[in-house]
Amino acid sequence: MSPGVSKAVIYTLAVHVVALFIVTQVTVSDTTSPSEQFTSIEFFDPSELPELDKSPEELFQEKLNERISNLRADASAETSEESRSTGLSAAELAALEAEVASDLSDLESSEFERLSSEEIEFETVGVPESGEDSQRDIDTMDDWDKQYEGRVTVRFDLDARSPRHLDVPGYKCQGRADIVVKISVSASGEVLSAELVSGAADGSCFAVAALRSALASEFLPLSSAPRRQEGTLSYAFVAQ
């Protein structure tokens, strides 16, 4: 190879090396560099803005009122829809409810009248009929102590003594009677014995009731009283 051709080849290789170096160092981009990007800004004069007729508070109140009106309209529409679904207006529904309440009240009243007019029979097993057997004690229907209506009063005659408890018999006997019972009382006030004096026959209803109440009575203690102090208890059975 001649010296001239060798130089030409060397120059050509040098040019290619330089071109290749430049290509590897330069980045190709289609976008504009940040220094060349910009945004347009428009300025305005505040004096050129239109003047508002209402304050922000007034505008807010108007919006609120509008919202409330819309809610009321929706509620009214819903009520109307319910009325249409039943086929009755609000006034008709109220009248119907009043009529039903009145019918129920009348029915309740009539039922009470029917029940009160019915004669209710109670079991009175063991309750004696009027007559000699009525002298027996009654022990039915919660100790029913008023086979016959009346009241009983009691008084005592015992020197210098005061009663702690004077038992009053229930009115169980037919008719009326004034019963006198002789009693013996201890110094502590306990009735030790009771004996029928007058007013009814021995073993009669009045006599049994009076003697039972006499023995259940009690007087206040008295240290100066004798060991057995005698006195009387009088029972008045008053019929009604």
Each residue of 141-193: pLDDT tens digit?
444 444 577 899 999 999 999 999 999 998 888 889 999 999 999 999 999 99
Residue 203 placed within a domain: yes
- Of 51 and 74, the structure prediction assigns the larger pLDDT to 74
Quick one: 235 and 153 in the same domain? yes
Q: Is residue 136 part of a domain?
A: no
**187 vs 8, more confident:** 187
Q: Provide the pLDDT for residue 80.
A: 63
My answer on whether 149 and 83 are in the same domain is no
Rounded distance between C-alpha atoms, residue 192 and residue 239, angstroms: 30
| Residue 173 is assigned to a structural domain of this protein | yes
- CATH code (residue 220): 3.30.2420.10
Shared domain check, 235 and 181 = yes
Query: Across the chain, how many H-helices and E-strands are there?
Result: 4, 6
Supply the range of the domain harboring residue 211.
Answer: 142-239
Residue 199 lies in a domain: yes
The yes-or-no verdict on residue 44 having pLDDT over 60 is no
Residue 6 lies in a domain: no
95-151 pLDDT, tens per residue?
878 887 787 777 777 776 766 665 444 444 444 444 444 444 444 444 444 457 789
Do 157 and 207 lie in a common domain? Answer: yes
C-alpha to C-alpha distances, 229 to 97, 189, 220, nearest whole angstrom:
78, 9, 13
Do 233 and 146 lie in one domain? The reply is: yes
DSSP 192: E
The rounded percent of the chain whose pLDDT value lies above 90 is 33
Query: Is the pLDDT at 14 greater than 60, yes or no?
Result: yes
Query: Does some domain include residue 64?
Result: no
Number of domains in the chain: 2
Coil, strand or helix at 164:
strand
